Amino acid sequence: MFNRGWVITGIIAFAALAGFPFYWHALGRHAPFPELERPKGETSCVEAVAYMRTDHMRLLHAWRTAVVRDDLLIYTASNGKRFEMNLHKTCMGCHPSRDRFCTRCHDYNDVSPPCWDCHVAPEVPEVRNQRSEIRRKETSGVKMGRSS
């Protein structure tokens, strides 16, 4: 066989390159799941923790569609609790620090969701809570949800 050395070298190089992803995965470090800041005074989330870890973006997209297109403002969770479909009031009300909750998990999973392209990141919790109190007083007589 002519060029036997080149053929064998080519086969070895091809096998090494084709198997690289498998070697990389086997030798890679598995970092522990990041420690996320839990909400103080809350015992449960809108849905179960396992559901929120895997499907919170689907839930937020469904909320957006329901609010913008269907004029629905209240979400009834699987446990029967009712929540306002609002990223800032509901989600960020319990998890006020984007850096200590959202960003840690998204960095761990190496994803960059476009949430903050449109939404404004929450401010310092103390100032934000004061503003929420003012809004609550101004809208205390307003009913939430669709009128029949």
pLDDT digits (tens, 9 = 90+) for 88-114: 888 888 888 888 888 898 988 888 888
With respect to residue 9, please indicate whether it lies within any of the assigned structural domains.
no
With respect to residue 111, please indicate whether it lies within any of the assigned structural domains.
yes
With respect to residue 81, please indicate whether it lies within any of the assigned structural domains.
yes
Per-residue pLDDT, 64: 92
Domain of 66? 49-125
Neighbours of 113 (CB within 10 A): 12
Could you report the per-residue pLDDT of 57-86, keeping only the tens digit for each?
Answer: 999 999 999 999 999 999 999 999 999 999
pTM: 0.60
Q: Distance between CA atoms of 59 and 61, rounded to whole angstroms?
A: 5
With respect to residue 106, please indicate whether it lies within any of the assigned structural domains.
yes
With respect to residue 15, please indicate whether it lies within any of the assigned structural domains.
no
- The closest of 117, 116, 111 to 91, measured between CA atoms, is 116
